Amino acid sequence: MKGFTLIEMLIVIAVVGILCLIGIPSFKRLTETIQADLAISQLARAIQLTRSEAIKTGSIATLCPSSDGFRCKINWSNGYMVFIDRAANGQVDSDDQIIHYFKPIKGKGTITWKNFRQLDYLQMIPLGNTNTQNGTFLYCSADKKITRALVISLSGRVRMHDDTKHSC
């Protein structure tokens, strides 16, 4: 009779089990790294959109955290939106125009905004500069082992890097 013996089958199961034990943590780390890169890339696109809308419309454009796309909140991890801020107050008023709402990236990471003026939002003026708000957006994975940062200069330029100076 042809087939596998019980010992051969147990050896195959043991080898597959060992490979899974080795591979699953690496796969989890890979997915967390991809989520971090996606989150920080989306945020960089939002900043660039804010800057380009300010230049295009000749008005102050604001990027603020928002969980619903209509009102500014405090938590950046729940999403954020770009709008033309006619009153330059960092809040959506009746005469403001909402440009785009960015939904949060799935995952359990957090995004924080630390800036010179300690405001909860980022504003760009029609020249493409920030409204005197240089600072850093920091993404931290749930286990706080993966960090990414976006550094925004006063000129409105954004640079990305793996963050090693800031702790989550």
User: What is the per-residue pLDDT across 23-58, written as a single tens digit (0 to 9) for each?
Assistant: 888 888 888 889 989 999 999 999 999 999 999 999
- Going by the DSSP 8-state scheme, the letter that residue 76 receives in this structure is G
- When pLDDT is averaged across residues 92-102 and rounded to a whole number, the result is 94
3-state DSSP helix/strand/coil % of the chain, to nearest 5: 35, 25, 40
With beta carbons less than 8 A apart as the criterion, state whether 60 and 125 touch.
yes
With beta carbons less than 8 A apart as the criterion, state whether 78 and 65 touch.
yes
Q: What is the pLDDT of residue 163?
A: 59
CA distance 131 to 153: 10
The tokens describing 87, both together, are: 């009153």
- pLDDT confidence tier of residue 164, bands split at 50, 70 and 90: low
CA distance 126 to 108: 35
Q: What is the pLDDT of residue 144?
A: 83
Q: What is the pLDDT of residue 100?
A: 96
With beta carbons less than 8 A apart as the criterion, state whether 53 and 61 touch.
yes
Is the pLDDT assigned to residue 91 strictly greater than 70?
Answer: yes
- pLDDT confidence tier of residue 19, bands split at 50, 70 and 90: confident
Tens of pLDDT, residue by residue over 109-153, are: 899 999 988 899 999 999 999 998 899 999 998 888 888 999 999
With beta carbons less than 8 A apart as the criterion, state whether 122 and 133 touch.
yes
Identify which has the larger pLDDT, 53 or 165: 53
Amino acid at 105: I
CA distance 165 to 62: 27
- When pLDDT is averaged across residues 61-83 and rounded to a whole number, the result is 94
